[in-house]
């Protein structure tokens, strides 16, 4: 326990980097994922094809390999990015297809009768999508999206292995320096991760319960 308290500044330094990674790559993944999802339901066939292939390829590539590319291969190809920036890009790219899938399955979850009813009372495309489909899809989308962000929180730990000093890298350093208190050090790090993931999970479950009953 003492080892944890003594090393709180190191933990904190790592944790703030973890939060930064989570925030920046989470937002970028949201933007990128929305674009991909829009491409997947667009009437333009070639965009649809591109988005499908992108989703399929990125989702089946291990995150470790994506971050390895960003941290080691990109500099050889001539990039001058900082490691933290490269890791953010990697995490955002890796997360974006999951965001897109959550959005798409939310939209697919709205029963087709809803859109048919809207069309048959004379609403146009914009009205149907904006007033009928999206408000319902939104509810179906938020809990899975939160789950994607929980996964992203845990995935930021992989960046620690690629020269970014975040919580996992800090923990590894502390565990090496405090050989006598490894268990306490590791449990301390777990607490920091759980402090993000458990509240987010509780929010997702709560929203899910609240919204599913109303439908």
Partner 1 sequence: MSGTSVLFDAPGPKARRRSLISSIVAGVLILAGLAWIVMTLAAPRESGGITLPGYFDPSRWDIFADPALWSRILTAGVWATLSAALTASVFAIALGILLSLMRSSAIAWIRIPTAVVLEFVRGMPVLLMMLFILLVLNTGAFWAVVAALSLYNGAIIGEALRAGLAALPRGQREAGLSLGMRPLQSKMLVEFPQAFRQMLPIIVAQLVVLLKDTSLGAIVGYVELLRLNMYQLATFYGNRYLFSFFIVTLVLYLIMNLSLSWFARWLSKRTASKSSGTKLDPDNPNQAILVAEASAAARQMGNAPGRI
Confirm or reject binding of residue 23 to partner 1 (CB under 8 A).
Answer: no
Q: What kind and span of H or E run contains 106?
A: helix 83-108
Here's the x/- map for partner 1, 55-94, by CB under 8 A: it reads as: -xx-xxxxxxx--xx--xx--xxx----------------
Alpha-carbon distance of 204 to 183, in angstroms, equals 30
Of residues 174 through 203, those in contact with partner 1 by CB under 8 A are 175, 182-183, 186, 189-190, 193-194, 197-198, 201
Alpha-carbon distance of 83 to 43, in angstroms, equals 38
**Residue closest to 25 by CA, chosen among 215, 155, 191, 172:** 155
Residue 5 CB, nearest approach to partner 1 (Å):
20
> What would the DSSP string read from start to end of 2-70?
HHHHHTHHHHHHHHHHHHHHHHHHHHHHHHHHHHHHHHHTSS-HHHHHHHHHHHHHHHTS-HHHHHHII
Contact between 41 and 101 under an 8 Å Cβ cutoff? The reply is no
Residue 116 CB, nearest approach to partner 1 (Å):
6
Of the residues 44, 80, 122, 180, which one makes contact with partner 1 according to CB under 8 A: 44
Residue 144 CB, nearest approach to partner 1 (Å):
5
Confirm or reject binding of residue 10 to partner 1 (CB under 8 A).
Answer: no
Contact between 3 and 178 under an 8 Å Cβ cutoff? The reply is yes
| Residue 79 φ then ψ, to 5° | -85, 150
Alpha-carbon distance of 106 to 126, in angstroms, equals 18
Taking the C-alpha atoms of 150, 151, 157 and 161 in order, what is their torsion angle to the nearest 10 degrees? Answer: -160
Here's the x/- map for partner 1, 138-157, by CB under 8 A: it reads as: -----xx--xx-x---xx-x
Confirm or reject binding of residue 135 to partner 1 (CB under 8 A).
Answer: no
Residue 6 CB, nearest approach to partner 1 (Å):
19
Alpha-carbon distance of 113 to 146, in angstroms, equals 27
31 versus 59: smaller Cβ distance to partner 1: 59
Q: Report the interface residues with partner 1, using CB under 8 A.
A: 41, 43-47, 49-50, 56-57, 59-65, 68-69, 72-73, 76-78, 101-102, 105, 107-112, 114-116, 119, 125, 128-129, 133, 143-144, 147-148, 150, 154-155, 157-158, 160-161, 168, 171-172, 175, 182-183, 186, 189-190, 193-194, 197-198, 201, 208-209, 212-213
């Amino acid at each position: 326990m003492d080892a944890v308290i003594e090393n709180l500044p190191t933990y904190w330094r790592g944790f703030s980097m973890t939060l930064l990674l989570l925030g920046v790559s989470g937002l970028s993944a949201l933007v990128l994922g929305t674009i991909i999802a829009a491409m997947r339901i667009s009437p333009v066939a070639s965009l649809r094809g591109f988005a499908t292939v992108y989703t399929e390829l990125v989702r089946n590539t291990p995150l470790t390999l994506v971050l390895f590319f960003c941290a080691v291969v990109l500099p050889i190809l001539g990039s001058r990015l900082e490691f933290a920036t490269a890791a953010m890009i990697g995490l955002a790219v890796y997360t974006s297809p999951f965001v897109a899938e959550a959005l798409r399955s939310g939209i697919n979850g709205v029963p087709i009768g809803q859109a048919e009813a809207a069309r048959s009372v004379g609403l146009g495309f914009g009205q149907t999508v904006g007033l009928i489909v999206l408000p319902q899809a939104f509810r179906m989308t938020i809990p899975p999206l939160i789950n994607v962000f929980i996964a992203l929180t845990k995935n930021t730990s992989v960046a620690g292995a690629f020269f970014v000093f975040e919580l996992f890298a800090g923990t590894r350093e502390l565990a090496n320096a405090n050989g006598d208190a490894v268990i306490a050090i590791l449990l301390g790090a777990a607490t920091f991760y759980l402090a993000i993931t458990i509240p987010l999970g509780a929010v997702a479950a709560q929203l899910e319960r609240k919204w599913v009953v109303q439908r």
